[in-house]
Each structure stands twice: as C-alpha cells, then as structure tokens.
A and B are shown apart, each in its own frame.
Chain A
Amino acid sequence: MPELKRILLAEDSPQDVEMTLEAMGDYHLANEVVVVGDGVQTLDYLYRRNQFANRPLGNPIVVLLDLKMPKMDGLEVLKQMKADPDLKRIPVVMMTASREEEDLIKSYNLGVNAYVVKPVDFQQFVDSVRKLSCFWALVNEPPPNVSARH
C-alpha cells in the first residue's frame, strides 16, 4: 500500500479544525489530515496506542501542533517527541493564537521546526495554512527513515 502523506493536526478547537480544513481543502490535502483533540491523543497516535492502536503504519510527514490544549499542551508533546529517537525527526510546526515571546523561545529550545501565529484575519489565516501545508506536504522532502521501524 502506497505511503500516504499524512498530516497530523493537533487542535482542541473544532472551529479552528474546520477553518484549517477549509483552507487546506483548496489543495486537496484535507483528506490526508488526521485530527486529534489534545496532547495525550497526539502521543497516542504517534505511538499507535489506545484508539489509534490499529492505525496504518508510518509517521506523519508533519505535525501541526496547537500550543494550548487540554490535558497536555503542545510544548509537552514537543518535548516528548524530540526526546524520542524514533519521533525526533518528524517536523513539528507549532500553531498558536498569540506571539508570546516566552513560548517562542521555549519551542525553539525544544527543537521545533516552525512556529506560526494564527492570523485573526481569515484571509491571512487561509494564506498561512495553505503555504504551510503546501510546503511541508508537497515541497519538503521528509526524513528517509520516517517509517524505518515498521
């Protein structure tokens, strides 16, 4: 079965999810987006645990991570991912509602690959999401051993 270019979107706000999918829809990327609602689910997906135990093999080509989520926030998820040799090569884009300097510094210290402030203006938001998904899903070459262990 051919390797799907899956995008993992970790976002607790259904509205943000809908808006993000709407923006991605134009590039026909929406079908390849997996949505999780909090940090715990994100890690469950990555480690194929609980409800994601039977998901298809392979790591997502990029993780779009909302910073503020219930149970476990984006920074914690990022920290665990970058500490794991199997997950640390997965590109992580931190998505956040505001440009808080402290968050920015913490994220980069933990090894984030990109940091995006969600624009209030919808058109700008759409532009950002499109550029982002386009870059990571279509332009960027993912690490070769993303699914090496499977």
Chain B
Amino acid sequence: MSKFLMLFRTRLLVLIFLVVLPALALVLHGYLGQLRLEKTRVREGAIAMSRLAAARQEYYVKDTHQLLATLTELSFFVLSKDRSFCQTGFSNLLKLSSDYVNFGLIESNGTVFCTGLGGDAAMDLSDRAYFRRVLEKKRFSLGDFQVGRITHEPTLNFGYPVRNEHGDIARIIFASLKTSLLTEAITNIGLPPGASVGVLDRSGIIVTRVPDTAKWMGKDVSAEPVVQNIISGKAVVFERIAQDGVKRLYAVTTISDGESPGLFVNVGIPVAVSYANANRTLRRNLLLVAAIAAVIWVLLWFLARRFFLKPIDLLAAASKRLALGDLAVRIGNAEGAGELAELGRTFDEMAEQLEKRAAEINRLNADLEKRVEERTSQLAAANQELEAFCYSVSHDLRSPLRHIGGYTSMLQRHLGNTLDEKGRRLLNTVSDSTRRMGILIDDLLAFSRMGRAEMQEGIVDMNALLEEVVGGQQEAQGRHIEWKKSHLPKVKGDSALLRQVLVNLISNAVKYTRPRDPAIIEVGYRNGEERDVTFFVRDNGVGFDPAYAHKLFGVFQRLHDAEKFEGTGIGLANVRRIIQRHHGQTWAESVPGEGATFYFSLPKASD
C-alpha cells in the first residue's frame, strides 16, 4: 500500500510540474525582457551620468576660459614689464580664488615672466602641452594633467594667448586648476554601488577617478587600446571588464576646449546592476509559481485522499480481511460510475463467488468425510474378515496338514521293516512336503500378524538393535565375516518390528555370503534427506539379477533355488511391510556375483 502511495505521490508531482511548466516559460520570458530593459536603463543611466559628470568638469573649463579671457583684456597688466607688479597681481588673484594653484605669464619663447607664487622667473615652460597648443592654435587651450613644476600639486593647466597692439602673440597666460576640484565634482553625482567615474586627458593620463582617486590619478594608461579608442572617439558606449575584474558598461562624454576634445569623462556602471533587478523579479516570480504549485499539490492531495485513496484503502482493508478468511466481507455502497466503484462491485462479486466456493468445498469435505467414514468401517469389516480368515487358516489348514504328517509317520512306524527303500523314500517326501507347508503357513500367519499388530512407537537406538541382531546370528559363528558397522542415528518407530527388519536383512546377508571368505557385511546410513534417514545393509555375497529386483520384496518370492539357500521367501516381504508401516521405503541394488545392497528409509528421531 505504502509503495503505491509513493508512486501516486510521484505521479502527482510530475503532473503538477507539467501544469506549472508554461508558467515557468512565461516567467523566463519576462525575465529576459526585463533584463533587456534593465540593460537599456543602465546604458542610458551611464550616458546621463557621464554627461552630468562632464557638465561639472566643463563648468571649470569654461570658468577658467572666461577668467583667462577677462585677464587678457587687461593689457596694462598682461603686457606690463614690471615683474613685481605682475606677481602681486597674480598673488592677489590666488587669494581671491582658491580653485587655482597658480597663475602666470610666459614669454613667447617659453621663459616664465612671472607667476602668482613667484620665485621662478626665467624657468623654461616651452615644453608644456598647453604652451605649445596655444602657440599652435592661437587660442584658449587645455593642457595635460601634470604635477606642477612650481606648485608641486596635481593640476590641470589652461593657456590663453596674450596679444600685443599688433595682434601678435606676445605672451601666454596660464592657470593651474586643482584637480581635487574635478574629483569633488564627480564624487557626489549619485553613483550606483560599484560604479566608477574617470577623467582622461587627451594624452591618455588619468586626471582623476572615483573611487580610488589616489591610486589612479596621474597614471598614464595611453598604451591601452581602449584608451586610444576613447581618445580617437571610437569608443563612446562599451562594455569592458575593468582591472578590478568587474564587468562594467562605460559611457564616455568628451569636453572640448573650443574646437577639439580635451577631457574624456567616462562613467562605468557594473553590468551586474542591470541583472540585480531582473533577478529580484525572477526570484519573486519563481517563488510565486512554486507557491501556486504547492497549493495545487495540497489541494490535489486532499481531493485524491477523499475520492481516490480512501476507496482504495477500503478495498485494501477488505482484501486483507478476505485473505484472512473473512469471506463475508463486502465493500457495499459501491454506487456510481467511476472505475473505483466498478472495482468495488467486482470485488464484491469475487467475494460472493469465493464464499459460494468455500461453502461448496465445505459441503464436499463433509461429504468426503462421511465417505471416508463409510470406507473406514468397510475396511475395518474387511480387516475383521481377514483376521477370521487367518484364524481359520491357522486352525483349519494346519489341522489336516498335521494329520497328513501324523498318519504318514504312523504308517512308517506301522510298516516298520516291511517297508522297502522306495516306499520309505515316498513316505519321506510326503513328510518333508508336509513340514514345508507347515512352515509356509506359519510364515504367512506371522506376516499377516505383522501387518495387524499394534505399533508401539518410540525412539529406537539402531546401534543397540544392530549389536543384538549381529550377536544373535547362529550361522555367523565359525565363519569368517568382516563386519563394517557405522554409528547409526536414532529413529522413530516400533523397536520390536525394526529388530525384525534387521534380523531379516542381516541373516540374508550372512546366508548369501556363505560362499565368500571373508564375507564382508557393511551396515551404514545416508543422511541426505530432511526428515528421513536411509539405512543400508551391503554384502559381497552372490547378489541377484537386478531385472528381478521388483519381485524381491513380494511374499514367497525367491530368486535362488532352495537347495543352495534355504528359506520360504517371506523375510523381505516382512521387511517391506514393516518399513511401509513406518512410512518408509525399501529398495535393493545388486551386481550378480559381486554382492547386494538393501536400503530402507525411516523417519528421523526429532531432536
């Protein structure tokens, strides 16, 4: 029953799974759609954020542009030959504007005229990128990231041409913007966790980066292909696994200093962010589906118990009772059209049939018993008749026989000396035959008595019996006989009858080994069977023709002539009769001239 339940449970689960499968497909479809949407969202977010960050940077660029343009208009200051005036002016300016680290004027040959920090006149800055670009482009230019030679601070430098009254470039004014400002500007733009913002200058040096500013600032990454692509404007939105191993979606916004791009602001948002939302939804939906499946399962389970398992339980209980012999058991009220109701009706029919059959069997048994009783009494009557017959045989047959013998002797006596040789021989033959018939009748009576006598059953020690029987063999005296006796097991039976069996078999063995010297007689057993034990008596005597083995155990059956081996042929018939009464079997094997083996089986004595 429990095995069936398990099977049923499994099937129910499979069924529910099949029902839920489309829902799962829908959930998956929704998940993929949402993922696409989320990716787009992240992409747009990245672009927006990079624009926001760029806008803040650009503010500083434009601010500086305006400041330098304004200062250039003050030609008395920027074209002044008074170095200390120049320095004081820039120094005051620095005090006003903490965003800058330094201001200064460079002669068109690259030597410093003056700076806000002072003490650095005649320093050659002709190699500075902003200097060269201003000379080349003749307008406001954004320099590269650098650690100031004067300020020793990370700065981003801007240059602006200072023209004389002829419109030629006389000097170049520069401003060094603190990069920390740029860092601050991109720090608080509300980056999602794991996102990064970086600012590159056009030569591929990181101006600033959030987070890990200190680690990245000033690092030259121009060798990386992606940086080259950013600078050349090929990479605007792209996915990339960053050096920290996180895959991010990057959006780049460029900031120009007028004509050409000067700074590249990139915002990287971890791709995982886009999955997070979708995954959350997926998890929720899956849980929902599982909950629905569980509810369906529970519902089905209860319904199945009510409409399916309960009737089956009923059937099973009824079957068990039926198996235990309660044939009157019925399912009853098995109405309806379902298969289970049909099954119930079939069960009831079967039980009905069984009950009828059982009644029939009982009737037949009673009948049989009555007949057995009849037969038994008939048998008893026949037995009584047989006994009466035996009685009359013993009396009525023996008497005339005795008379023949008696009168023959009396005749012999009467004739005395007048009897000639032939007459004596004839009378002797009558006497011998009479004697012989007497013995036959006695044997027959003994045989019949053997079959009728009450059995005195008990545990029989076959070893003791064997010793006794062997010891009692008259003929064995004075003959050379080699006895091989096994230790025999105990059996259940009538000791006197079994003694007779051994007497008959042993005396036969002694008799038929008469021509042998030495005679070998072996008594043993085989313990192969479960309840029986098979004994055997084996001799090396004259044996018998196996073709007549089946006749051997018949009454008065002899396979040897009476002149060589005396006997009436009742011994083995007695053996078979006795063993049959013990519910055993007898059989014999022989090779003529080499010996014979006689077997008999008996029930073992239970331990």
Contact = CB atoms under 8 A, between A and B. Distances in A.
Nearest to A121: B435
Interface residues of B, number: 23
B409 A98 contact: no
A120 B405 CA distance: 7
A43 to B, nearest CB: 22
B398 interface: yes
Given A120-B401, A120-B435, A121-B435, A98 B395 contact: yes
Contact of A22 (B394, B395, B410): B410
B434 A120 contact: yes
Given A97-B402, A98-B398, A120-B442, 17 more contacts: A13-B399, A13-B403, A15-B406, A15-B407, A16-B399, A19-B403, A19-B406, A19-B407, A22-B406, A97-B395, A98-B394, A98-B395, A100-B394, A119-B402, A120-B398, A120-B435, A122-B402
Contacts of B405: 120-122, 125
Given A16-B403, A98-B445, A122 B398 contact: no
A98 B398 CA distance: 8
Nearest to B393: A98
21 contacts: A13-B399, A13-B403, A15-B399, A15-B407, A16-B399, A16-B402, A22-B410, A68-B395, A96-B395, A97-B394, A97-B398, A97-B402, A98-B395, A118-B398, A118-B402, A121-B405, A121-B438, A122-B402, A122-B431, A125-B405, A126-B409
B408 interface: yes
A64 to B, nearest CB: 16
Interface in A111-149: 118-123, 125-126
Nearest to A101: B449
B406 A122 contact: yes
Contacts of A121: 405, 435, 438
State the main secondary structure of chain B at its contact with A: helix
A118 B435 CA distance: 13
Interface string B445-456: 100010000000
Nearest to B412: A122
Contacts of B409: 122-123, 126
A125 B402 contact: yes
Interface of A: 13, 15-16, 18-19, 22, 68, 96-98, 100-101, 118-123, 125-126
B438 A120 contact: yes
A123 B402 CA distance: 11
Contacts of A126: 409
Contacts of B431: 122
Nearest to A120: B438
Interface string B370-401: 00000000000000000000010011101101
Contacts of B406: 15, 19, 22, 122, 125
A120 B391 CA distance: 16
Nearest to B401: A120
B403 A15 contact: yes
Report the 3 A-B pairs with minimum CB-CB distance, sorted nearest first.
A120-B438, A98-B394, A122-B409
A96 B396 CA distance: 11
A55 to B, nearest CB: 29
B539 to A, nearest CB: 32
A122 B391 contact: no
Contacts of A119: 402
A122 B441 CA distance: 16
Contact of B410 (A98, A100, A122): A122
A100 B409 CA distance: 27
A120 B402 contact: yes
Contacts of A13: 399, 403
Interface centre among A18, A101, A122 (most CB of B within 10 A): A122
A97 B435 contact: no
B391 A100 contact: yes
Contacts of B401: 120
Interface in B395-436: 395-396, 398-399, 401-403, 405-410, 431, 434-435
Contacts of A101: 449
Nearest to A22: B410
